[in-house]
């Protein structure tokens, strides 16, 4: 079979498997394996598949992915997510759409210790959606802010997407983590701005909550210190890894700092 014929067979098989609701990763693996077997040989395809599987799962850098997911699960079961949402609600709940903005803020903070967007959405949704239903928030606004806020987990470090991208492109994971902080906070602020404008135009979308005193707001920050500590540890390690090594002198006594 010529490479052109194999390409047409691969495209047809690709769309067929996608239409059958097969996961995209498995679809690409199956199509690539069959295409390589048709163009080269089945033995070469089996050899390539076994080698790629081993080299991918034996990569030391990829061990950070399950560890970050584990850290997010530990944070969820210890109640950190509820403390983050409570603190955000005390500071933003009095605004129109305050609960929705609190959800975005909690997603931003939880994304800093989880690394997974879907895991962030699922975790914060279990806390935020019942509260927004209780305060008669619009269902589209409630689910939309949870989904959009969870997507911030791809930008706020530690990010699994950054890890995979850095490994594939041979870039520094630490530098990507540091570069994602500013854009992530900017997008979170823009999300809150859109929610505020929409709820000012249509007050029934997200009614404002009670106004808390400054003492209550400051007291609510007691549920945030664990997240700040974990974020500082992760980013501190990234700065340590990405900092250049000290210059060594070729002769003479060592330089004193």
For the chain, 257 residues long, give each residue's pLDDT as a single digit of tens.
Answer: 677 887 888 888 889 988 888 888 888 888 888 888 888 888 888 888 888 777 777 777 677 777 777 777 777 777 777 778 888 888 887 888 888 888 888 888 888 777 677 778 877 888 888 888 888 888 888 888 888 888 887 788 777 788 888 877 888 877 888 888 888 889 999 998 999 998 888 888 888 778 888 888 888 888 777 777 777 776 666 555 544 444 444 444 555 54
pLDDT at 247: 47
Our CA dihedral for 193, 195, 196, 201, rounded to 10 degrees, sits at 130
**CA proximity to 17, closest of 41, 40, 35, 43:** 35
pLDDT the model gives residue 240:
57
The two tokens of residue 237 are 């390690």
| Whole-structure pTM value | 0.66
Rounded CA-CA distance 132/141 in Å is 9
Task: State the sign of the Cα–Cα–Cα–Cα dihedral 99, 105, 109, 115.
Answer: positive
Phi-psi region of 137 (alpha: psi -120 to 50; beta: other; left: phi over 0): beta
Residue 1 is predicted with a pLDDT of 66
- Cα–Cα nearest to 105, from 95, 118, 91: 91
Residue 92, phi then psi, degrees to nearest 5: -120, -10
What pLDDT is attached to residue 83?
79
pLDDT value for 186:
92
**Domain boundaries, given as residue ranges, for the chain:** 3-58, 63-242
């Amino acid at each position: 079979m010529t490479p052109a014929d194999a390409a047409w067979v691969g495209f047809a098989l690709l769309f067929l498997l996608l239409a059958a609701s097969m996961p995209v990763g498995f679809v690409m693996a199956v199509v690539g394996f069959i295409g390589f077997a048709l163009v080269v040989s089945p033995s070469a395809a089996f050899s390539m598949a076994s080698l790629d599987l081993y080299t991918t799962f034996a990569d030391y850098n990829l061990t950070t992915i399950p560890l970050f997911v584990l850290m997010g699960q530990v944070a969820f079961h210890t109640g950190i997510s509820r403390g983050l949402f409570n603190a955000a609600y005390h500071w933003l709940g009095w605004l129109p759409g305050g609960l929705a903005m609190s959800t975005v803020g909690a997603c931003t903070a939880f994304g800093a210790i989880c690394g997974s967007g879907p895991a962030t959405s699922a975790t914060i949704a279990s806390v935020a959606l019942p509260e927004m239903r209780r305060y008669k928030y619009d269902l589209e606004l409630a689910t939309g802010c949870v989904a959009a806020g969870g997507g911030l987990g791809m930008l706020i470090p530690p990010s699994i997407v950054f890890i995979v991208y850095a490994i594939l492109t041979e870039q520094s994971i630490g530098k990507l983590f540091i570069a994602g902080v500013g854009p992530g906070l900017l997008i979170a602020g823009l999300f809150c701005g859109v929610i505020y404008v929409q709820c000012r135009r249509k007050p029934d979308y997200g009614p404002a909550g009670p106004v808390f005193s400054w003492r209550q707001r400051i007291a609510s920050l007691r549920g945030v210190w664990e997240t700040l500590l974990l974020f500082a540890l992760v980013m501190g390690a990234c700065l340590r890894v990405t900092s250049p090594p000290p210059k060594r002198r070729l002769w003479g006594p060592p330089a004193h700092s």
